[in-house]
């Protein structure tokens, strides 16, 4: 009986370790995705700053070129705004995708935690029933010894 309990305990410990490792792995993935999201936000801020600097540069150049070629300056500004808008749309889409990934990872972690809790509850009930059965058997054995 003790050997069975030891084997069951090892199996139980192995299962808990496996589940904990899975949870750690999912959390690591979540952290990696969050880091990627933060990196993209930094890149987006850098692009915005770069574009702001470009806009300032273009404004200065426009003052110089305005007399020579007003039409050409307007065309350049429009192209830059299109690029900025396009990049902003791309960044918003990437942020949306990363938020979806983070939510999915959170959902998976919650599912793993729920499974772990259910497993622990089931194992505890099973251990209690085994302990109770052993206790009843011991009491029966003691009663038989008293009778003899």
pLDDT in tens, 76-111: 889 999 999 999 999 999 999 999 999 998 899 899
When divided into structural domains, the chain yields a total of: 1
Cβ pair 84, 51 in contact under 8 A: yes
- Rounded to an integer, what distance in angstroms lies between the CA atom of residue 117 and that of residue 125? 12
Per-residue pLDDT at 15 exceeds 90: no
3-state SS string for 13-54: HHHHHHHHHHHHHHHHHHHHHHHHHHHHHHHHHHHHHHHHHH
Question: How many helices (H) does the chain have, and how many strands (E)?
Answer: 2, 0
Residue 120, C-beta contacts closer than 8 angstroms, at least 6 positions apart: 16
Computed on alpha carbons and rounded to an integer, the radius of gyration of the chain in Å comes to: 33
pLDDT range class, residue 70, cuts 50, 70, 90: low
* Structural domain of 136: 2-147
Q: Higher pLDDT residue, 14 or 34?
A: 34
- Which residue, among 17, 7, 16, 10, has the nearest Cα to 120 in the 3D structure? 16
- Rounded to an integer, what distance in angstroms lies between the CA atom of residue 46 and that of residue 52? 10
């Amino acid at each position: 009986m003790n050997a069975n309990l030891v084997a069951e305990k090892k199996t139980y410990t192995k299962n808990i370790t496996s589940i904990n490792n899975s949870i750690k792995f999912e959390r690591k993935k979540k952290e990696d995705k969050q880091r990627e999201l933060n990196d993209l936000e930094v890149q987006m801020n850098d692009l915005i700053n770069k574009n702001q600097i470009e806009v300032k540069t273009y404004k200065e150049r426009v003052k110089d070129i305005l007399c020579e070629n007003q039409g050409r300056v307007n065309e350049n500004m429009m192209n830059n705004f299109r690029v900025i808008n396009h990049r902003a749309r791309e960044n918003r889409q990437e942020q949306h995708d990363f938020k979806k990934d983070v939510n999915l990872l959170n959902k998976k972690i919650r599912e793993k935690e729920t499974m772990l809790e259910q497993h622990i509850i089931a194992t505890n009930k099973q251990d209690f029933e085994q302990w109770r059965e052993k206790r009843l058997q011991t009491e029966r054995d003691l009663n038989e010894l008293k009778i003899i």
